[in-house]
Structure 1
Amino acid sequence: MNVELPFAPVDTIIRRNAGNLRVSADASEELAKRIQEHGATLAADAADQATEDGRKTLMAQDFGVEAIVDKDDLELPVAPVDRIARIDIDGRYRVSMDARIALADILEDYADNVARAAAKLARHADRRTIKAEDIETYFSLFE
């Protein structure tokens, strides 16, 4: 699978939740992959909602979002999130800018939650570095 999301913003999200822990490159890569999978699934569900409403354009409300944040407040870039949204919906739908921003916001919250838990797992393992195995352990325990 080709990961559309750049690792740098994912690394930044992990670091803001890591406190004094270090972050391995593998952890950023693993979380980017998981964010992409989650985003593609959310977009496919949103496409189903748009279809039910008789639209070919995904809107923010299709993601359950009522208020749109300012895209400059997000760490995740909108262009890769747009590509993630299109992974499972092929070329059948358009994705509005509000939908892209809403999805980026949802995915950033998702990443924050995973990163926070991964930091706890690394501390519990008495390590000073968050590793990919912490991300994987989170998903094996909670998903």
Structure 2
Amino acid sequence: MSVELPFAPVDTIIRRNAGSLRVSADAAEELARRIQGHGATLAIDAAEHATADGRKTLMAQDFGVEQAIDKDSLTLPIAPVDRIARLRIDNKYRVAMDARIALADILEDYAEDIALAAATLARHANRRTIKAEDIQTYFELFE
């Protein structure tokens, strides 16, 4: 599965949580891959909610969000998040703009938590660089 999410905004999220640590390109790529998988899984659940309500359009409420935030406040771009939402659901579903924004917000929060933990793991290992292995270790420990 190719990664739909560009690495640059993911790198930005990691750097926000890294403090003085450096960030390897592999870390951004690994986190982007994890974000994408999580987003696709959330979209499956959202599609089930929409189907139960007799709709073919995913809405923010299908992701458990009552009111979407302003899209300009997000780091993750909306277009790739739309593609992520469609990765594992039938093409019969549409994804409303509020659902795209809601999913981007959820994924950004998810990425922030992982990035913060990865920074802690890198410091614990007495390294000055956050690596892909820190992201992987997070998932081994907490998922």
Same fold (TM over 0.5): yes
The equivalences for 1:86-101 within 5 A come to 86-101=86-101
Unaligned runs of 5+ in 1: none
**Distance of 2:67 and 2:52 partners within structure 1:** 22
Structure 1 counterpart of 2:18: 18
Cα deviation for residue 90 of structure 1 reads 2.8
**Distance of 1:132 and 1:114 partners within structure 2:** 11
Q: What is the Cα-based RMSD across aligned positions, in Å?
A: 0.4
For residues 75-134 of structure 1, give each alpha carbon's deviation from its aligned partner in whole angstroms, at most 9, with x where no partner exists.
Answer: 000000000000001302000000000000000000000000000000000000000000
Spell out structure 1 runs of 4+ moving beyond 6 A: none
Structure 1 counterpart of 2:75: 75
Letter in 1 for 2:20: N
Letter in 2 for 1:27: A
The equivalences for 1:13-92 within 5 A come to 13-92=13-92
Structure 1 counterpart of 2:131: 131
TM-score by length of 2: 0.99
**Distance of 2:124 and 2:3 partners within structure 1:** 29
For residues 44-88 of structure 1, give each alpha carbon's deviation from its aligned partner in whole angstroms, at most 9, with x where no partner exists.
Answer: 000000000000000000000012110000000000000000000
**Distance of 1:90 and 1:74 partners within structure 2:** 27
State, as a whole percentage, how many aligned pairs show the same letter.
Answer: 80
**Distance of 2:95 and 2:118 partners within structure 1:** 31
Structure 1 counterpart of 2:102: 102
TM-score by length of 1: 0.99
**Secondary structure, in 3 states, of the residue corresponding to 2:87?**
coil
Unaligned runs of 5+ in 2: none
**Distance of 1:29 and 1:40 partners within structure 2:** 17
Structure 1 counterpart of 2:114: 114
Letter in 2 for 1:72: D
